[in-house]
Chains A and B, each alone.
Chain A
Protein backbone atom coordinates (compact mmCIF):
# COMPACT_ATOMS: atom_id res chain seq x y z
CA UNK A 1 0.00 0.00 0.00
CA UNK A 2 1.39 3.45 -0.79
CA UNK A 3 2.21 5.59 2.13
CA UNK A 4 2.30 9.35 2.14
CA UNK A 5 5.18 10.16 4.35
CA UNK A 6 4.96 13.81 5.15
CA UNK A 7 6.08 13.52 8.74
CA UNK A 8 5.50 16.79 10.41
CA UNK A 9 6.41 15.95 13.97
CA UNK A 10 8.83 13.32 15.14
CA UNK A 11 7.13 10.37 16.87
CA UNK A 12 8.78 11.36 20.14
CA UNK A 13 7.11 14.77 20.00
CA UNK A 14 3.75 13.08 19.48
CA UNK A 15 4.55 10.78 22.39
CA UNK A 16 5.31 13.72 24.64
CA UNK A 17 2.07 15.44 23.68
CA UNK A 18 0.09 12.27 24.30
CA UNK A 19 1.71 11.68 27.69
CA UNK A 20 0.74 15.19 28.69
CA UNK A 21 -2.81 14.57 27.45
CA UNK A 22 -3.23 11.26 29.25
CA UNK A 23 -1.81 12.69 32.48
CA UNK A 24 -4.33 15.51 32.26
CA UNK A 25 -7.17 13.03 31.70
CA UNK A 26 -6.04 10.81 34.58
CA UNK A 27 -5.88 13.78 36.94
CA UNK A 28 -9.23 15.07 35.80
CA UNK A 29 -11.14 11.78 36.15
CA UNK A 30 -10.15 11.60 39.84
CA UNK A 31 -12.81 14.24 40.40
CA UNK A 32 -15.57 12.02 38.98
CA UNK A 33 -17.96 10.71 41.64
CA UNK A 34 -18.14 7.04 42.59
CA UNK A 35 -21.42 5.21 42.57
CA UNK A 36 -22.35 4.05 46.09
CA UNK A 37 -22.13 0.27 46.43
CA UNK A 38 -20.37 -0.14 43.06
CA UNK A 39 -16.74 -0.79 42.38
CA UNK A 40 -16.94 0.78 38.95
CA UNK A 41 -17.78 4.40 38.26
CA UNK A 42 -17.69 6.88 35.38
CA UNK A 43 -13.94 7.36 35.86
CA UNK A 44 -12.96 3.76 35.10
CA UNK A 45 -13.31 3.65 31.32
CA UNK A 46 -11.66 6.99 30.45
CA UNK A 47 -9.02 6.17 33.06
CA UNK A 48 -8.17 2.90 31.31
CA UNK A 49 -8.06 4.70 27.96
CA UNK A 50 -5.63 7.24 29.39
CA UNK A 51 -3.38 4.45 30.67
CA UNK A 52 -3.45 2.79 27.25
CA UNK A 53 -2.64 6.09 25.60
CA UNK A 54 0.26 6.66 28.00
CA UNK A 55 1.72 3.23 27.12
CA UNK A 56 1.45 4.01 23.39
CA UNK A 57 3.03 7.41 24.07
CA UNK A 58 6.07 5.84 25.75
CA UNK A 59 6.51 3.45 22.83
CA UNK A 60 6.24 6.37 20.39
CA UNK A 61 8.93 8.26 22.30
CA UNK A 62 11.21 5.22 22.14
CA UNK A 63 10.59 4.88 18.40
CA UNK A 64 11.06 8.58 17.76
CA UNK A 65 14.34 8.72 19.66
CA UNK A 66 15.56 5.63 17.85
CA UNK A 67 14.73 7.26 14.52
CA UNK A 68 16.69 10.33 15.54
CA UNK A 69 19.66 8.21 16.56
CA UNK A 70 19.63 6.41 13.21
CA UNK A 71 19.33 9.64 11.28
CA UNK A 72 17.49 9.61 7.99
CA UNK A 73 14.47 11.57 6.93
CA UNK A 74 12.61 11.21 10.20
CA UNK A 75 15.50 12.44 12.28
CA UNK A 76 14.34 15.99 12.83
CA UNK A 77 11.99 16.99 15.66
CA UNK A 78 9.64 18.70 13.29
CA UNK A 79 9.48 19.08 9.57
CA UNK A 80 7.17 21.11 7.40
CA UNK A 81 5.33 19.63 4.46
CA UNK A 82 6.44 20.60 0.98
CA UNK A 83 3.37 22.74 0.43
CA UNK A 84 4.31 25.16 3.20
CA UNK A 85 7.02 26.52 0.94
CA UNK A 86 4.44 27.55 -1.62
CA UNK A 87 2.81 30.87 -0.79
CA UNK A 88 -0.33 30.08 -2.71
CA UNK A 89 -0.91 26.83 -0.81
CA UNK A 90 -0.27 28.44 2.57
CA UNK A 91 -2.83 31.13 1.80
CA UNK A 92 -5.30 28.49 0.59
CA UNK A 93 -4.81 26.44 3.76
CA UNK A 94 -5.51 29.35 6.07
CA UNK A 95 -8.38 30.53 3.88
CA UNK A 96 -10.14 27.15 4.13
CA UNK A 97 -10.00 27.34 7.92
CA UNK A 98 -10.56 31.09 8.05
CA UNK A 99 -13.80 31.16 6.06
CA UNK A 100 -15.27 28.53 8.37
CA UNK A 101 -14.33 30.54 11.46
CA UNK A 102 -15.79 33.60 9.79
CA UNK A 103 -19.00 31.67 9.14
CA UNK A 104 -19.26 30.32 12.69
CA UNK A 105 -18.71 33.74 14.25
CA UNK A 106 -20.81 35.89 11.94
CA UNK A 107 -23.61 33.86 10.41
CA UNK A 108 -26.15 34.66 13.11
CA UNK A 109 -25.59 38.40 12.83
CA UNK A 110 -24.99 38.75 9.10
CA UNK A 111 -27.32 36.01 7.90
CA UNK A 112 -26.71 32.98 5.74
CA UNK A 113 -27.00 34.54 2.29
CA UNK A 114 -24.42 37.29 2.75
CA UNK A 115 -22.05 35.10 4.76
CA UNK A 116 -22.36 32.32 2.18
CA UNK A 117 -21.56 34.63 -0.74
CA UNK A 118 -18.52 36.06 1.05
CA UNK A 119 -17.43 32.54 2.06
CA UNK A 120 -17.54 31.17 -1.47
CA UNK A 121 -16.23 34.29 -3.20
CA UNK A 122 -13.15 34.33 -0.95
CA UNK A 123 -12.34 30.71 -1.71
CA UNK A 124 -13.03 31.03 -5.45
CA UNK A 125 -10.72 34.03 -5.63
CA UNK A 126 -7.94 32.25 -3.75
CA UNK A 127 -8.30 29.01 -5.73
CA UNK A 128 -7.90 31.02 -8.94
CA UNK A 129 -11.38 31.13 -10.46
CA UNK A 130 -11.58 33.89 -13.14
CA UNK A 131 -12.35 37.12 -11.29
CA UNK A 132 -15.41 38.15 -13.28
CA UNK A 133 -17.05 34.83 -12.35
CA UNK A 134 -16.22 34.89 -8.63
CA UNK A 135 -19.21 36.84 -7.35
CA UNK A 136 -21.87 35.55 -9.77
CA UNK A 137 -21.06 31.89 -9.12
CA UNK A 138 -20.82 32.49 -5.35
CA UNK A 139 -24.23 34.16 -5.39
CA UNK A 140 -25.93 31.45 -7.46
CA UNK A 141 -24.39 28.58 -5.43
CA UNK A 142 -25.35 30.21 -2.14
CA UNK A 143 -28.92 30.76 -3.29
CA UNK A 144 -29.20 27.16 -4.50
CA UNK A 145 -27.94 25.80 -1.17
CA UNK A 146 -30.21 28.21 0.67
CA UNK A 147 -33.21 27.13 -1.38
CA UNK A 148 -32.48 23.43 -0.88
CA UNK A 149 -32.05 23.63 2.87
CA UNK A 150 -34.31 26.54 3.85
CA UNK A 151 -37.24 25.92 1.51
CA UNK A 152 -37.12 22.19 0.78
CA UNK A 153 -35.69 20.80 4.01
CA UNK A 154 -37.00 23.56 6.32
CA UNK A 155 -33.69 24.16 8.05
CA UNK A 156 -33.88 27.50 9.92
CA UNK A 157 -30.86 29.18 8.37
CA UNK A 158 -30.39 32.58 9.98
CA UNK A 159 -31.36 35.73 8.08
CA UNK A 160 -29.27 38.13 10.15
CA UNK A 161 -29.95 41.76 9.24
CA UNK A 162 -31.74 40.70 6.08
CA UNK A 163 -34.56 39.67 8.45
CA UNK A 164 -36.78 42.49 7.23
CA UNK A 165 -36.73 41.39 3.61
CA UNK A 166 -37.27 37.64 4.04
CA UNK A 167 -38.59 36.05 0.89
Chain B
Protein backbone atom coordinates (compact mmCIF):
# COMPACT_ATOMS: atom_id res chain seq x y z
CA UNK B 1 0.00 0.00 0.00
CA UNK B 2 1.68 3.17 -1.14
CA UNK B 3 2.21 6.00 1.38
CA UNK B 4 0.57 3.99 4.17
CA UNK B 5 2.67 5.30 7.08
CA UNK B 6 2.64 8.88 5.87
CA UNK B 7 -1.10 8.88 5.21
CA UNK B 8 -1.71 7.47 8.65
CA UNK B 9 0.52 10.11 10.24
CA UNK B 10 -1.34 12.86 8.36
CA UNK B 11 -4.72 11.37 9.26
CA UNK B 12 -3.76 11.19 12.94
CA UNK B 13 -2.64 14.82 12.87
CA UNK B 14 -5.96 15.83 11.36
CA UNK B 15 -8.21 13.78 13.62
CA UNK B 16 -5.99 13.79 16.73
CA UNK B 17 -7.36 10.36 17.51
CA UNK B 18 -6.02 6.91 16.71
CA UNK B 19 -9.33 5.22 15.99
CA UNK B 20 -10.62 8.05 13.84
CA UNK B 21 -7.32 8.13 11.97
CA UNK B 22 -7.57 4.40 11.27
CA UNK B 23 -11.13 4.77 9.97
CA UNK B 24 -10.03 7.67 7.83
CA UNK B 25 -7.09 5.81 6.29
CA UNK B 26 -9.17 2.70 5.67
CA UNK B 27 -11.88 4.72 3.97
CA UNK B 28 -9.29 6.60 1.92
CA UNK B 29 -7.83 3.37 0.52
CA UNK B 30 -11.30 1.98 -0.19
CA UNK B 31 -12.26 5.17 -2.05
CA UNK B 32 -8.94 5.32 -3.88
CA UNK B 33 -9.37 1.73 -5.01
CA UNK B 34 -12.92 2.32 -6.15
CA UNK B 35 -12.05 5.57 -7.87
CA UNK B 36 -8.76 4.42 -9.35
CA UNK B 37 -10.32 4.59 -12.81
CA UNK B 38 -10.77 8.32 -12.31
CA UNK B 39 -7.06 8.78 -11.58
CA UNK B 40 -5.37 10.08 -14.68
CA UNK B 41 -1.93 8.60 -15.24
CA UNK B 42 0.68 11.29 -15.45
CA UNK B 43 -1.03 13.47 -12.87
CA UNK B 44 0.14 13.63 -9.27
CA UNK B 45 -0.78 10.42 -7.43
CA UNK B 46 0.31 11.76 -4.04
CA UNK B 47 -1.81 14.91 -4.33
CA UNK B 48 -4.72 12.76 -5.51
CA UNK B 49 -4.68 10.35 -2.56
CA UNK B 50 -4.11 13.14 0.00
CA UNK B 51 -7.04 14.94 -1.56
CA UNK B 52 -9.23 11.88 -1.03
CA UNK B 53 -8.10 11.59 2.57
CA UNK B 54 -8.71 15.25 3.27
CA UNK B 55 -12.13 15.32 1.61
CA UNK B 56 -13.11 12.24 3.60
CA UNK B 57 -11.91 13.94 6.76
CA UNK B 58 -13.88 17.12 5.99
CA UNK B 59 -17.11 15.14 5.80
CA UNK B 60 -16.43 13.39 9.13
CA UNK B 61 -17.73 14.73 12.43
CA UNK B 62 -14.34 16.06 13.54
CA UNK B 63 -13.73 17.47 10.09
CA UNK B 64 -17.03 19.33 9.99
CA UNK B 65 -16.20 20.92 13.34
CA UNK B 66 -12.79 22.03 12.11
CA UNK B 67 -14.25 23.57 8.96
CA UNK B 68 -16.22 26.05 11.00
CA UNK B 69 -12.99 27.80 12.07
CA UNK B 70 -12.75 31.12 10.24
CA UNK B 71 -9.31 32.04 8.98
CA UNK B 72 -10.09 35.48 7.59
CA UNK B 73 -7.27 35.07 5.17
CA UNK B 74 -8.61 35.07 1.63
CA UNK B 75 -9.42 38.78 1.82
CA UNK B 76 -6.72 39.61 4.32
CA UNK B 77 -3.50 41.39 3.45
CA UNK B 78 -0.19 39.65 3.52
CA UNK B 79 1.56 42.37 5.56
CA UNK B 80 2.63 40.39 8.56
CA UNK B 81 4.90 42.29 10.90
CA UNK B 82 8.55 41.49 10.52
CA UNK B 83 9.69 39.51 13.48
CA UNK B 84 12.52 41.09 15.34
CA UNK B 85 14.73 38.09 15.58
CA UNK B 86 17.60 38.20 17.99
CA UNK B 87 19.95 35.39 18.94
CA UNK B 88 17.87 35.03 22.12
CA UNK B 89 14.64 34.42 20.25
CA UNK B 90 16.44 31.94 18.03
CA UNK B 91 17.46 30.01 21.11
CA UNK B 92 13.88 30.10 22.25
CA UNK B 93 12.81 28.66 18.91
CA UNK B 94 15.04 25.66 19.36
CA UNK B 95 12.42 24.32 21.63
CA UNK B 96 12.02 20.67 22.19
CA UNK B 97 10.10 18.51 19.81
CA UNK B 98 7.24 17.86 22.21
CA UNK B 99 6.51 21.56 22.46
CA UNK B 100 6.32 21.93 18.67
CA UNK B 101 4.12 18.85 18.48
CA UNK B 102 1.75 20.29 21.04
CA UNK B 103 1.67 23.64 19.29
CA UNK B 104 0.98 21.93 15.95
CA UNK B 105 -1.87 20.04 17.53
CA UNK B 106 -3.40 23.27 18.80
CA UNK B 107 -3.34 24.98 15.41
CA UNK B 108 -6.57 25.31 13.45
CA UNK B 109 -6.88 22.38 11.01
CA UNK B 110 -6.35 24.50 7.85
CA UNK B 111 -3.05 25.80 9.29
CA UNK B 112 -1.99 22.39 10.58
CA UNK B 113 -2.63 20.62 7.29
CA UNK B 114 -0.90 23.22 5.11
CA UNK B 115 2.17 23.10 7.37
CA UNK B 116 2.27 19.30 7.34
CA UNK B 117 1.93 19.13 3.56
CA UNK B 118 4.68 21.69 3.08
CA UNK B 119 7.20 20.80 5.80
CA UNK B 120 6.67 17.09 6.31
CA UNK B 121 5.35 15.89 2.97
CA UNK B 122 7.60 18.42 1.23
CA UNK B 123 4.96 19.09 -1.39
CA UNK B 124 5.42 21.93 -3.85
CA UNK B 125 3.01 24.87 -3.66
CA UNK B 126 1.36 23.49 -6.77
CA UNK B 127 0.84 20.07 -5.18
CA UNK B 128 -0.57 21.66 -2.04
CA UNK B 129 -2.90 23.79 -4.17
CA UNK B 130 -4.15 20.63 -5.90
CA UNK B 131 -4.56 18.71 -2.65
CA UNK B 132 -6.41 21.49 -0.85
CA UNK B 133 -8.23 22.72 -3.97
CA UNK B 134 -7.17 26.33 -3.37
CA UNK B 135 -5.17 28.79 -5.53
CA UNK B 136 -1.38 28.97 -5.12
CA UNK B 137 -1.67 32.53 -3.76
CA UNK B 138 -3.86 31.23 -0.94
CA UNK B 139 -1.37 28.42 -0.27
CA UNK B 140 1.36 31.03 0.23
CA UNK B 141 -0.64 33.33 2.47
CA UNK B 142 -2.04 30.44 4.51
CA UNK B 143 1.43 28.97 4.97
CA UNK B 144 2.75 32.33 6.10
CA UNK B 145 -0.03 32.72 8.65
CA UNK B 146 0.30 29.12 9.80
CA UNK B 147 4.01 29.59 10.48
CA UNK B 148 3.35 32.75 12.40
CA UNK B 149 0.56 31.06 14.38
CA UNK B 150 2.83 28.14 15.22
CA UNK B 151 5.57 30.44 16.37
CA UNK B 152 3.15 32.39 18.57
CA UNK B 153 1.78 29.16 20.02
CA UNK B 154 5.25 27.89 20.89
CA UNK B 155 6.17 31.20 22.50
CA UNK B 156 2.93 31.26 24.46
CA UNK B 157 3.56 27.76 25.76
CA UNK B 158 7.11 28.64 26.71
CA UNK B 159 5.88 31.62 28.72
CA UNK B 160 3.51 29.42 30.65
Are A and B a genuine interacting pair, yes or no? Answer: no
